[in-house]
């Protein structure tokens, strides 16, 4: 029986189209990029640090915690003491000091500026980990600062 080359061509095209469609749908079917990993140094007794870590996890971060305090980590990463807060993180080669919202960390990783990282000095009420009913649902205005390689800062995002 002779082979119908036209039929074989149609079958091959259909097979390729289906395979292409399956590859296109893979992200929608659950194939996702790995969660960004952040390593954090904090005091073992700090409650607001735990709340900030929960905020990061809820926003797609894979969190590793060191309950050893954060002063040495902050200095090792070159962050000035004037930016100090109760926890310090390292993500994608950037330092993260204090109650920085996950949204701004994701933005930092997307934009990849030449910088040491981000900081929210002190512990502003309303920042992630310093929010909710325990704080009377208050919201202080605060800035997320972009920390340049030389330690200077400029506003990265203002809240609220």
Tell me the domain boundaries of the chain.
1-32, 37-159
Query: 30-35, long-range: CB within 8 Å, 24+ apart, which pairs?
Result: 34/62, 35/60, 35/61, 35/62
Q: Read off the tokens for 4.
A: 């119908």
Calculate mean pLDDT across residues 94-105: 98
The two counts, helices (H) then strands (E), for the chain are: 4, 7
Q: What is residue 11's predicted lDDT score, i.e. its pLDDT?
A: 41
The Cα–Cα gap between 50 and 95 comes to 18
What whole-number distance in Å separates Cα of residue 30 and Cα of residue 39? 26
Check: pTM over 0.85? Answer yes or no: no
pLDDT, tens only, 54-95 = 999 999 999 999 999 999 999 999 999 999 999 999 999 999
pLDDT band at 108; cut points 50, 70, 90: very high
Determine the CATH number of domain 37-159: 3.40.30.10
- C-alpha distances in Å from residue 55, one per residue of 35, 105, 117: 14, 12, 19
126, 120 in Cβ contact below 8 A?
A: no
Contact status, residue 43 vs residue 69, Cβ threshold 8 Å:
yes
With CA atoms as reference, report the closest residue to 42 among 90, 111, 109. 90
Of residues 86 and 26, more confidence is placed in 86
pLDDT of residue 95: 98
pLDDT at 126 over 60: yes
**Does position 19 have pLDDT exceeding 70, yes or no?**
no
Instruction: State the chain's mean pLDDT as an integer.
Output: 86
Kindly tell me if the per-residue pLDDT of 112 is higher than 50: yes
Half-sphere exposure (Cβ direction) of 60: Cα atoms closer than 13 Å: 13
Position 26 pLDDT exceeds 80: no
> Could you report the per-residue pLDDT of 129-152, keeping only the tens digit for each?
999 899 999 999 999 999 999 999
Q: Do the beta carbons of residue 145 and residue 121 sit within 8 Å?
A: yes
């Amino acid at each position: 029986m002779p082979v119908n080359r036209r039929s074989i061509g149609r079958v091959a095209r259909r097979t390729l189209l289906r395979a292409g469609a399956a590859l296109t749908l893979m992200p929608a079917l659950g194939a996702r990029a790995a969660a960004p990993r952040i390593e954090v140094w904090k005091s073992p007794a700090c409650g607001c640090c735990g709340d900030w870590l929960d905020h990061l996890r809820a926003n797609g971060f894979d969190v590793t915690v060191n309950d050893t305090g954060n002063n040495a980590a902050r200095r090792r990463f070159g962050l000035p003491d004037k930016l100090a807060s109760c926890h310090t993180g390292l993500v994608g080669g950037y330092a993260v000091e204090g109650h920085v919202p996950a949204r701004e960390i994701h933005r930092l990783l997307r934009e990849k500026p030449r910088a040491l990282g981000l900081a929210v000095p002190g512990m502003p009420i309303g920042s992630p980990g310093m929010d909710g009913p325990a704080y009377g649902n208050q919201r202080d205005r605060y800035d997320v600062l972009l920390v340049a390689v030389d330690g200077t800062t400029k506003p990265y995002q203002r809240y609220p």
